[in-house]
Amino acid sequence: MSRLVAVDEAAFKDPQNIAALIGAQRFVMIWGEPSATDHVARVFDNSRVLLTGLASDTSIEHAAIGQMADGPQQGGAMAALTPAWAHPQNEAAAAPAPLKAERDASPNDLKTLLSGNVPLTCRLFRALFEHMLGFAPASSGQQKNVPLVNELTGSKEHSRSFLSTALFILGAEIDRDELMSFMMQQGLFGMPIFDHMLQTRDFCEAFHSFRHLERAFMGSPATEEAQLRNRLDKFNAQFGGKPYAAKVFEANEHDKAKIDAYLAAADLLEAMALTPWCMSLNKAVSMASSNSVRSTSVIASHFERFGRSDITKEQANREIADHLLAFARQFSADTKPA
């Protein structure tokens, strides 16, 4: 990956950058080396293949060069970042309205955009990794020999989800003012995209299982509460939200199941903030910081019930997906929620 973005190899061995790539809860440093499960390693390798493919000569660069060779390209710099697999062979790409004039420094391909930019590379990789982790089967020996990246990018729905998230992250670097207009015209934002992004996703395996196995013992309720509130306040601050003064936990009890659930819920919202779903979160927090905390509590309640074996994993996943879809519908709408 260091070769792809032209940085020193040591950059991606730094624990902070590893955490940015896959989440701190998904690996542990042992004798100075990162250690993760086989499943995480498999998803990591497939995500790296996908990122490399996105920046390869046969996808984005050729698409960009082809568009420039044909004359002025519609969609400006962001159109050049659209890979060939974004549009199925039998589906013509919608022609977007031209964006405002490209900046002099706007890149013509993804490799140029990522070159030397470790934070941007980590955000893009993390978004692809989270999507793969949510849909990759966690067990089954025969699945280990199946290229996960081929399985997911071979699906129109997953391809559109990957593209929507990638353009959301990269487009913000190129032309933030016109990003939403471009994505709407390309059909890369809206309820169909959210539906593909959330339905049938395994939130329990991708988020709760890692927090459940991260620690055998928890800190004091007061310490855990303070750390979680600080984390949520920093999260809300990204969207202009104010600190949340009320209690997060309903009771001062030393309950690992509850704390695991809340941490997993916070992990999930942070992962979703890398996707276009973030636009509804941005609007929700701008209206009231408590909205993200309320969402965290709702998601945590489902994780906790699953952790206590009160509901099945399938039920928990379905309830969480339904909540996130309802949240997106409520706070993406043009009219203010009641």
- Together in a domain, 89 and 164: yes
Token pair recorded at residue 180: 């939403």
- Together in a domain, 238 and 134: no
Q: Does residue 43 lie within any of the structural domains? A: yes
- Together in a domain, 103 and 215: no
Q: For position 69, what pLDDT does the model report?
A: 36
Q: Does residue 7 surpass a pLDDT of 80? A: no
Residue where the block lists tokens 């100075």: 32
For the beta carbon of residue 56, count every other beta carbon within 10 angstroms.
16
CA distance 316 to 299: 9
Q: Does residue 73 lie within any of the structural domains? A: yes
- Together in a domain, 239 and 176: no
CA distance 300 to 309: 14
List pLDDT tens digits, range 49-58: 888 887 764 4
Show which of 164, 189, 214 is a domain's final residue: 189
Q: Span 168-176, mean pLDDT? A: 87
CA distance 205 to 24: 16
pTM for the model: 0.83
- Together in a domain, 177 and 276: no
Q: Does residue 238 lie within any of the structural domains? A: yes
CA pseudo-torsion sign 189, 193, 195, 197: negative
- Together in a domain, 173 and 272: no
Q: For position 79, what pLDDT does the model report?
A: 54
Chain Cα centroid distance, residue 166: 9
Q: Does residue 47 lie within any of the structural domains? A: yes
For 210, how many CA atoms within 13 A lie in the half-sphere containing its CB? 26
Q: How many domains does the chain have?
A: 2
Q: Does residue 309 lie within any of the structural domains? A: yes
Show the domain range for 223.
Answer: 203-332
- Together in a domain, 174 and 274: no
252 pLDDT band (50/70/90 cuts)? low
Token pair recorded at residue 36: 């993760």
Highest mean pLDDT out of 32-36, 108-112, 170-174: 32-36
CA distance 266 to 259: 11
Q: Span 142-156, mean pLDDT? A: 63
List pLDDT tens digits, range 91-143: 444 444 444 433 344 445 777 888 888 999 999 999 999 999 999 876 644 45
Q: Does residue 198 lie within any of the structural domains? A: no
Show which of 136, 166, 189 is a domain's final residue: 189
Q: For position 201, what pLDDT does the model report?
A: 94
Q: Does residue 194 lie within any of the structural domains? A: no
- Together in a domain, 327 and 303: yes
Token pair recorded at residue 268: 């999930």
Q: Does residue 3 lie within any of the structural domains? A: no
- Together in a domain, 54 and 142: yes
- Together in a domain, 57 and 132: yes
Q: For position 94, what pLDDT does the model report?
A: 44
Show which of 161, 189, 217 is a domain's final residue: 189
Q: For position 82, what pLDDT does the model report?
A: 54
Token pair recorded at residue 142: 């025969």
H/E run at residue 291: helix 290-307
Average pLDDT of the chain is 81
- Together in a domain, 79 and 174: yes
Helix and strand numbers (H, E) in the chain are: 17, 2
Token pair recorded at residue 297: 């509590």
- Together in a domain, 108 and 217: no
